[in-house]
Amino acid sequence: MPFDLLLTGGMVLDPGSGLKAQLDVGIEDRRIAAIGPNLRQQEARRSIDVSGCYVTPGLIDFHVHSYWGVNPYGCDVDELCLSTGVTTAVDAGSAGPVNFPGFERFIARQSRTRMLAFVCVAAHGVLRSPGELADMRFAEPEAAARTVKEHPDVAVGIKVRVERNATVDARESLRLAVQAGQASGSPVMVHPGNSDISMDEIAATLRPGDVITHCYTPLDEGMVAASGSIRPAVKEAHERGVLLDVGHANRHFSYDVFRAAQFEGLLPDTISTDVHTDPAKAAAVDMPTTMTKLMALGLTLEQVIAASTINAAKAIGWQDRLGRIEIGREADLAVLQLVSQEQNLKDCVGASIDAKARLKARWTIRSGDVFEAKA
């Protein structure tokens, strides 16, 4: 039987399995059917020559806001994802227990990108002004935990923001989120910065597997102390399994903070854009651009691919479904090219870095369907 799709001539790069070799990939009935050399000798309904490109697991953007039309931060990220190698996007609390069924029905089921989500500990999801927990009566940890259990194919954890504009009681908000995480057996993603509780307290409260997003934020109460060094509590938390997520956004990624963390070995576990409101105006731009910035700062291609695939899958307990190229798995793939092109890239506080090469998506394969990147 012929393949439905055959990718030939590419370098298969799969950190999850340790695979890096020039191999062809055959897809049949929306699943990976074969991985090996010289598959082009077999018949295929469609073949794409991906010579000069890397074939990786589909990218996972670990922090977006995709509940468009409902949440004030929400935007339609589907087209952006499928033109930039992203096959799975994880919404970071745009829906709470009250409106999560709407997210599942109208976003997750309708999008071509696989849409997963952290459930906000606040009833209606994250809000702009007033914040979602400007009144603590809107906290619903029991309902949030129940939502995660009732929607296992979409809900992956609990989200809480402890920034001042989000809550009147950061300590209690964090406590209730961890309570919901324990009750649901799922990770908590916490948004820090400009908080009334210290990063030391946040880091000490989180459990192994919980996530600090916006980990390189320049805002007050980030991971860097006034001395310029990384807070010991953050290092200790990371050592015991608390994860660090980039969460670039428009104000949460500083090259100086990254370099301070890098000096002490605190590299990101997962990479994400935090695209929200208007993707065209996002400082992160997209996943390949964010990954390019990290490579310009010293991470290897293998490191940024791992942080955008298998690490993200493991963080939500989906490593048996996402993040690897393996026969029998759903055909979610990214075809990426490392282009020699000098580019000046800015962080969120105006600092610049010169990248000698940039990572560019050429094709996105989502469940066997092909989406070609825009020029």
pLDDT of residue 199: 96
How does strand 369-372 pair with strand 352-366? antiparallel
In terms of domains, do 50 and 138 share one? no
| Start-end of H helices in 99-186 | 100-103, 141-150, 170-184
In a domain, 205, yes or no: yes
**Would you state the pLDDT for residue 50?**
97
* Same domain (yes/no): 333, 277: no
The verdict on 111 and 138 lying in the same domain is: yes
Cβ contact 213:225 at 8 Å = no
Both 277 and 265 in one domain: the answer is yes
pLDDT(256) > 90: yes
The answer on 31 and 64 residing in a single domain is: no
Say how many domains are in the chain: 2
| Tens digit of each residue's pLDDT (9 = 90 or more) over 188-217 | 999 999 999 999 999 999 999 999 999 999
129 and 40 both lie in a single domain: no
User: What's phi and psi for 18, nearest 5 deg?
Assistant: 75, 20
Q: pTM here?
A: 0.97
Interhelix angle 141-150/170-184, rounded to 10 degrees, is 30
Long-range pairs for 220-224 at CB < 8 Å and ≥24 separation?
A: 220/193, 220/194, 220/195, 221/192, 221/193, 221/194, 221/195, 221/197, 222/192, 222/193, 222/257, 223/199, 223/257, 223/261, 223/266, 224/257, 224/260, 224/261
344 is a domain residue? no
The single residue listed with the structure tokens 């295929």 is 44
Question: Is residue 243 included in any domain, yes or no?
Answer: yes
The reply to whether 271 and 291 lie within a common domain is yes
Question: Using one digit for the tens of pLDDT, what is the confidence trace for 312-341?
Answer: 999 999 999 999 999 999 999 999 999 998
User: Does the residue 349 lie in any domain?
Assistant: no
Q: Are residues 15 and 145 in the same domain?
A: no
Q: Residue 91 maps to which CATH number?
A: 3.20.20.140
Residues 17 and 120 in one domain: no
Please report, for the domain that includes residue 29, its CATH number. Answer: 2.30.40.10
Identify whether 191 is part of a domain: yes
Domain presence at residue 81: yes
Q: Decide: 271 and 249 in contact? Cβ < 8 Å.
A: no
Q: Answer yes or no: is 180 within a domain.
A: yes
What is d(CA 44, CA 59) in angstroms, rounded to the nearest whole number?
Answer: 25
pLDDT in tens, 352-370: 999 999 999 999 999 999 9
**Domain assignment of residue 79, given as a range:** 59-315
Question: Do 169 and 258 have their domain in common?
Answer: yes
Give me the pLDDT at residue 240, please.
Answer: 97
36 touches 23 (CB < 8 A): yes
Residue 347, in any domain of the structure:
no
> What gap in Å lies between CA 370 and CA 356, rounded to an integer?
29
pLDDT at 285: 85
Task: Name the DSSP class of 357.
Answer: E
Per-residue model confidence as pLDDT tens digits over 212-227: 999 999 999 999 988 8
Same domain, 143 and 234: yes
**23 secondary structure, DSSP code:** -
Say if residue 15 is in the same domain as residue 142: no
User: Does the structure show a pLDDT above 80 at 283?
Assistant: no
Q: What is the pLDDT of residue 279?
A: 73
